[in-house]
Amino acid sequence: MRIAFLTAPEGVEEVELTRPWKAVEEAGWNPQLVSTSSGQVQAFQHLDKGGRFTVDHVLAGDTSEAFDALVLPGGVANPDALRMDERAVGFARSFFTQGKPVAAICHAPWTLVEADVVRGRTLTSWPSLATDIRNAGGTWVDEEVHVCRAAPATLITSRKPDDLDAFCATLVREFDRQPARQG
């Protein structure tokens, strides 16, 4: 399976990128770093600069057709930038319209709120997003990880870095339930 990890050029929480990435690799799948700009993305360890990671694919009106699933890492700046980019919002939305699973942690559901895909869904996130999720028609819960299987796409969400063990195990299990893309 080919898994898209969507990030902005700067501001992704490093551990929320690297731990799910490692889980995907250990499952035998192919993670791909997708961003709105070429080159490298600058990760952060909370407020301090962390590592830099090479972009595999630059968005240009893409949809989810080349991928089997989507992971949206958090960090405050990352989803805030993504939700202001129409290409990123459309890319995230396409996973839902095509019925492909999505996993989002921490502040990442901001991108999903902008994509108008949380309506009628139950999800968790960093607590400060609860009102945004409710205002977008979703139900917010305070849980380590939550799986919402509302049609057409499964959504796996988690609150914070402390929840990464459960988040990674759950996203691997849920992604594995999905049929792989052909070709």
Spatial distance between the Cα atoms of 183 and 163, rounded to a whole number of angstroms: 34
Q: Can you tell me the mean pLDDT for 16-20?
A: 98
Report yes or no: 41 and 53 within 8 Å, Cβ to Cβ. Answer: yes
Q: Give pLDDT tens digits for 92-135.
A: 999 999 999 999 999 999 999 999 999 999 999 999 999 999 99
Q: Does the residue 182 lie in any domain?
A: no
Residue 159 structural domain: 2-176
Q: Can you tell me the mean pLDDT for 73-78?
A: 96
How many separate domains does the chain show?
1
Spatial distance between the Cα atoms of 159 and 149, rounded to a whole number of angstroms: 18
Q: Does the residue 165 lie in any domain?
A: yes
Question: Is 106 labeled as catalytic in the residue annotation?
Answer: yes
Whole-number pLDDT of residue 182: 52
Q: Return the number of other C-beta atoms located less than 10 Å from residue 122's C-beta.
A: 17
CATH number of the domain residue 68 falls in: 3.40.50.880
Is 155 strand, coil or helix?
strand
Q: Where are the alpha helices (DSSP H) in the chain?
A: 14-26, 77-82, 86-97, 109-114, 130-135, 164-176
Q: For residue 180, name the pLDDT band (cuts at 50, 70, 90).
A: low
Q: Does the residue 129 lie in any domain?
A: yes
Record the tokens describing residue 109, joined without a space: 């559901």
Report yes or no: 106 and 133 within 8 Å, Cβ to Cβ. Answer: no
Question: Is 146 labeled as catalytic in the residue annotation?
Answer: no
For the whole model, what pTM was predicted? 0.96
Q: Give pLDDT tens digits for 165-179.
A: 999 999 999 999 987
Active-site hit among 57, 107, 146, 148: 107
Q: Give pLDDT tens digits for 127-167.
A: 999 999 999 999 999 999 999 999 999 999 999 999 999 99
Spatial distance between the Cα atoms of 145 and 163, rounded to a whole number of angstroms: 7
Active-site hit among 46, 57, 106, 148: 106
**Amino acid letter at 146?**
H
Report yes or no: 119 and 137 within 8 Å, Cβ to Cβ. Answer: yes
Residues 6+ apart with CB under 8 A from 31: 3, 5, 21, 24, 25, 71
Whole-number pLDDT of residue 61: 82
